[in-house]
Amino acid sequence: MVFPGMGPTGFADIERFATEVPLAWQLFAEADEALGYQVLDRFRQADGDYSEYAQVAFLVTCLALAQWAEREALPARPGLCTGPSFGGKAVAAYVGSLSFADAVWMTARLARCVADYFSKEHRSLVTHSFVRVDPGVVEELLGELTARNRVADVACRVDRDFFMVTLSADDLPGLEKGIRAAGGLSLYTMRPPMHSPAFAGLRQRAEKEVLDELEFAEPRLPVISDHDGSLLTTAEQVRSLLLDGFVRQMHWPGTVEALRARGVRTVCVAGPDALFGRVPATARNFEVVPVGPKRPLLVAAARDAEPRSSRGVESGAERGSAAG
């Protein structure tokens, strides 16, 4: 089971999924209770792609889709779990290291903590993503910056030639020039930034203000770290995974390699995803079962249109085609 990193997510698809799929509606109701406000209402009204409410809605949607996939789309329950970047929060809930309510509370509180931290610290830093640049060239470009004692950290290695780099906005024009000279393509720039050793203070604050308030349980199935591909089997390791996400690079090719080494050949990507289930690192190594908010609605509509006498047979066929 793979829970994707978070990208900009449209409200309409999540709202429709939540209102038309009963298990999703139930989880959103539980999230409302845990936080004391209606998540979807706040998400509808929120500004920006990464508000507290957008993050909670993304988490709940991912976990609801994973439950739906286990019931309707997968031939067997997954034996390993991973989640690049933001996906680690869903991982903690899915493997049982955190209760659903605690994972929702943690996500909301971390969103507030991060927003407050970056309103005061590292205000010039951004995270810039780009593709089609050889890793050796990236190393040279960043080396030129670090030689001048500038922050220039690979935040995410999404594929062989797909990077996200955290650096000062003042240094971004020079990096973009180097990307163009290498035949690469700049994609987008994120604020707040992410995944850098420069954010050790944020890691400490998140631990003290948020994670110290939670009790982590032993995971019910192993987790593959998105930082180095290591196997995580204890509550403390899952806790550290979440905290280390502030300061360590997300390395998806290494995660893929670790999954392959453990015999994984099929992955279910549960959540709104336009990236991790599609990049060559994933598509070339696995049979991918993408389960996004639109998928359950299509299956439900198909079932509603079937004659009652044929639904048992067609349901099994649908599961087979989804897994394939």
Q: How far apart are the C-alpha atoms of 115 and 109, rounded to whole Å?
A: 10
Query: Looking at residue 310, what is its pLDDT?
Result: 33
Per-residue model confidence (pLDDT) at position 247: 98
Other Cβ atoms less than 10 A from the Cβ of 261: the count is 11
Which pLDDT belongs to residue 8?
Answer: 86
- For residue 307, the model assigns a pLDDT of 45
Cβ(55)–Cβ(86) below 8 Å: yes
Alpha-helical segments (H) within 210-251: 235-244
Mean pLDDT for each 10-residue chunk of the chain (324 residues)?
93 93 96 98 92 97 96 90 98 98 98 98 98 98 97 98 98 98 97 97 98 98 98 98 98 98 96 95 96 77 47 30 29
User: What is residue 321's predicted lDDT score, i.e. its pLDDT?
Assistant: 29
* pLDDT the model gives residue 17: 94
User: What's the DSSP call for residue 88?
Assistant: H
Give me the pLDDT at residue 212, please: 98
- For residue 110, the cross-strand partners are none
Q: Please tell me the distance from the alpha carbon of residue 82 to that of residue 255, in angstroms, as a whole number.
A: 8
Domains and CATH numbers, the chain: 11-119+198-323 (3.40.366.10), 125-192 (3.30.70.250)
Query: What does the pLDDT read at residue 73?
Result: 84
What is the pLDDT at residue 320? Answer: 31
